[in-house]
Amino acid sequence: MEFGIDISTGQINKILSKGKDVFHRKKDQTLITVLEVSKYIQTDDTGARHDGKNGYCTQIGNDFFAWFHSSHSKSRINFLQILASAYKSQYALTEDAFRYMKIEKLPKKQLRIFRCSIHSCFNTHAEWSKWLADSRIVNKRHVKIATEAALLAGCFKAGLNRDLVILSDDAGQFNIPMIKHALCWIHEERHLQKLLPGNNKAKADDLEKVINDFWLLDDQWKSYKLSPSKDKAFAINNEFEVLFKRKTSFESLNGALKLIYSKKEELLQVLNELALPLHNNGSENDIREFVKRRKVSGGTRSALGQRCRDTFASLKKTCRKLGVSFFAYIKDRQSGKNEISALSDLIRKAAFRNSPIQGLGDSVTVAAKQT
């Protein structure tokens, strides 16, 4: 009424959330396109309350797009369901699923049950759950492994790139067997920063030296990405060995170095794929908006409102990364003029234009496994 307009909050909500199917489809199409043309994706999650209950928002992105999906879970199954939804894939019992189950050490008795049903597919979660129950697969761990396996196999069957790399901050739900996984370099340094040597000078000196050497190695990473060579790749591998196998007077530091060293293959993924950034800051920057909204509004109430929040946050940040005015994009689509290119087409062009040469460190990571 302050502006001379008599309108209810319900009507405002209807304007903002109803009739937005075209934008939901465009948002979903960006994820399909990125999974098709990109060599890597970054991902992270954060809390996102919905209908008065705690929930989560998963972010997937890279230099060309950002994509958000809110749900009640942050499990590996939830993440695989997100990937499966992009392809509208089935729960598939293929050789890929069987291999996944063996990697995750599913008992032989259950493996035999799945082997007897190899090549079966299930269109919905309800069909899959019923088959599990009928097959007497009821143990929670067994159901979890089998569901992850069937979802991943369905994605591969539908066309998921087997060479895709997922970059994360070491959250377990994003480290999926049979998909390449890379770790954020900066997150590993944070483990070192948390160590407290107290008043012990020797420990403090050891910690300072390790952190300094850590950032010297970071400089070598950056130099390698600008002009990769076999010599630089092997130098990085050797420096990594020296730094994280170091023994100091600080036992907690020794433990942290040992833990980082155990992640060597994931931290050295950038040697194989130059497109990978050294950190996961892009995901943290993308998802910060959801953190702010959670603090201000508390969360969404309706399922439609939640979906609209995810959709328009995805489209807005994708537009910004592609250098497109979000306001102009929305106006163009609402008017029906469609003068601005589809975001999926812009993503394809950006991915092609920014595609770096292949990394030169394959032999380094193979050698690293043997050391």
pLDDT tens digits along 346-358: 999 998 887 655 5
pLDDT tens for each residue of 58-81: 999 999 999 999 999 999 999 999
pLDDT tens for each residue of 95-114: 999 999 999 999 999 999 99
Q: Are residues 364 and 322 in the same domain?
A: no
pLDDT of the residue at 3: 63
pLDDT tens for each residue of 15-27: 777 878 999 999 9
Average the pLDDT over each of 76-90, 173-187, 281-295 and give the range with the smallest value. 281-295
**CA atoms of 46 and 288, how far apart (whole Å):** 9
Residue 350 maps to a domain: no
Left if phi > 0, otherwise alpha if psi is -120 to 50, otherwise beta: which for 72?
alpha
pLDDT mean across residues, the chain: 90
Residue 189 maps to a domain: yes
pLDDT of the residue at 326: 96
Q: Are residues 292 and 259 in the same domain?
A: no
Residue 285 maps to a domain: yes
Q: Are residues 247 and 160 in the same domain?
A: no
Q: Are residues 15 and 150 in the same domain?
A: yes
Q: Are residues 82 and 138 in the same domain?
A: yes
**CA atoms of 168 and 44, how far apart (whole Å):** 6
pLDDT band at 289 (very low <50, low <70, confident <90, very high): confident
Q: Are residues 118 and 262 in the same domain?
A: no
Residue 2 maps to a domain: no
- Of 50 and 239, the structure prediction assigns the larger pLDDT to 239
Residue 135 maps to a domain: yes
**CA atoms of 56 and 79, how far apart (whole Å):** 11
pLDDT of the residue at 292: 83
pLDDT band at 370 (very low <50, low <70, confident <90, very high): very low
Residue 368 in this model has a pLDDT that exceeds 70: no
pLDDT tens for each residue of 210-222: 999 999 999 999 9
Q: Are residues 16 and 162 in the same domain?
A: yes
Q: Are residues 106 and 198 in the same domain?
A: no
Percent of the chain topping pLDDT 70: 94
Residue 348 maps to a domain: no
Using alpha carbons only, give the angle 307, 69, 153 rounded to the nearest 5 degrees. Answer: 125
Q: Are residues 157 and 253 in the same domain?
A: no
pLDDT band at 44 (very low <50, low <70, confident <90, very high): very high
Q: Are residues 195 and 63 in the same domain?
A: no
Q: Which domain holds residue 196?
A: 185-278+357-370
pLDDT tens for each residue of 113-131: 999 999 999 999 999 999 9
Distance of CA 21 to the CA centre of its chain: 25
- How many domains is the chain partitioned into structurally? 2
Q: Are residues 127 and 196 in the same domain?
A: no
Q: At which residue do the structure tokens 């130099």 appear?
A: 223
pLDDT of the residue at 359: 56
Residue 65 maps to a domain: yes
pLDDT of the residue at 153: 97
**CA atoms of 154 and 27, how far apart (whole Å):** 22
In the predicted model, what is the mean pLDDT of residues 128-136?
96
Token reading at 361: 């460190």
Q: Are residues 214 and 263 in the same domain?
A: yes
Token reading at 72: 């009640």
Residue 294 maps to a domain: yes
Average the pLDDT over each of 237-251, 268-282, 309-323 and give the range with the smallest value. 268-282
DSSP letters, 130-170, are HHHHHTT---HHHHHHHHHHHHHHHHHHHT--TT-EEEESS
pLDDT of the residue at 367: 45
Residue 224, CA atoms < 13 Å, CB-side half-sphere: 30
